[in-house]
Structure 1
Amino acid sequence: MNDQKPSKNSKPTDLRNIIALIITLAVITITIIVAICTLTLPEKPDFDFIGQSLLPLWGTWLGTVLAFYFGKANFDSVAKTYENVINNLSSEEKMEKIPVDDVMTPINNITHIDYDETQLNRTILEILNDKLFSGYNRFVFLEKNNIFKYVIHRSTFTNFIADKLRDETIDVKKLTLKNFIDEKDKNEYIKDMLDNSYNFVALNDNLLDAKNAMKSLKNCEDVFVTKTGRGTDPVLGLITNNIIIKFSKI
């Protein structure tokens, strides 16, 4: 049993063939009529009029119609082929074609804290309740000239506070950023979040490079973009795990 179905493009193709045939027959017929008239009529037709007016008109009309139908067919064919190629690309192949600076959050749009030593004295609750970060889950700390210092997620702060609530001798309202940073020496989770929850890529890298940089570290959810990909350079942009997830979908 033949399971093949007729092509959806068969009718348009047949129509173009019919139109092309009609045009060809019309031109041949008119040419024959002109030739017969030229040979049989006692008064010869005005060849200048035919050569200078009618023939160019027929040629223009014929070329325009054929170009419209067959040119459109070629364009549709190329467009369909391109669409098929794009659809058949894997998500990683698509990501490889996307420059990081096309999808990153640029530095001017990164809500961050200008870090200096005085920030260490801020309480964690003060940072968490900062209206500037209302609705944000990550706190980015940048030093002078936008040099990266820390990125700390809201959940990491709250987990730290929850852990300290178990100790009745500690007033969690007074816990500072310095207390949190110092905890890395005795808390592997906080150490890992402070040292390995971020990575860097260069400005000329693509989104797949950013994805691989994120995958290379277990708890990495943020990739910062600098000119050379080094953390000692000024931050130019940020690619979060949400951006990676969005473009990872096929």
Structure 2
Amino acid sequence: MAVEELFRRYLPLCIGLVGLVAGLSFLDVPTVGWGGFEKLAHLAAIVALSAVVMVVARYAIGPAVSSQLAGTEPGGSDPWMRQRIAPIVLTVGTLAITALSALLIIVFWQLGTVPGSNVIHDKLDTILMSIFTATLPVFATWVGTVLAFYFTNESFKQASEAALLAANPPNAHQAFASSRMVTYEKIAKIEADRAGVRTTLMSDVFSRFNDQTTRVIVFDKARSPVFVIRRKNIPADWIDEAGKLKAEAVTIDDYLKVGNNAADAVQFGFVPQGASVEQALRALKDSQSDDLFVTATGQKTDPVIGWLTNDRLK
């Protein structure tokens, strides 16, 4: 805990205790026996005054210590002061009501014990009950006012935040990933029945490669991706010196049996159409691949709308 916080918390308590000790010293405790209305009244007054001094010191020192922190917040010290009004009012009001009630009880109790005051003595129970019924609504009003202030303020704050969030969504200023995708119609692809995909000739795949196209996507009839065939993963001995595929009888199944091609060909992710670029980058990282397919809801069972790569999301 910071020294400033310790100072703010415990210095007012020390001041209050010093005031209490100083007040008790005037009672001449060692030489005067306890008892009597005057002694009790003095003691109650000293305790009440010490409490008031402690409370005043607490809220007087608090702003001085926290002024630097409050000055860095939007709005300066005004919001900080509004937050302190409720506890100040509740604390001071409670102490005042308690002190006044205690004083009235002590006064009427003392008057009831004076010889010849039969009227007060006979009605002492009624008087005490009247004090209780008079102070309870006042205390309830204090508490209700503070609670109403707090919850009204919190409700207004939450409503304001909700309105600001609705007017300025978190992704309002972020680019949509779909704006950078290659649409399904422009993807270098092969469409085949899922059951017969592996028997597709690699010559059909190889014919779609060019200087800009380094991978071909194999889709089924429902427009769901099945395999990603990469030119760099085709064995060198399948290609002649002119750069053409000389092993025309090989199939996609043969391609998948080479090295790590089987795992690499199915390593891709999905993202919803309304995702931002940042969300798409996270999805690409989670999929641990270089290929991301855009669908309406981000589910792999939906037809593909477009295709994204790491280069397009940078």
TM-score tier, shorter chain, comes to 0.3 to 0.5
TM-score normalized by the length of structure 1: 0.48
Q: Greater CA radius of gyration, 1 or 2?
A: 2
By relative contact order (CA 8 Å, sep 6+), the higher-ranking structure is 1
TM-score normalized by the length of structure 2: 0.39
Q: Which has the higher strand share?
A: 1
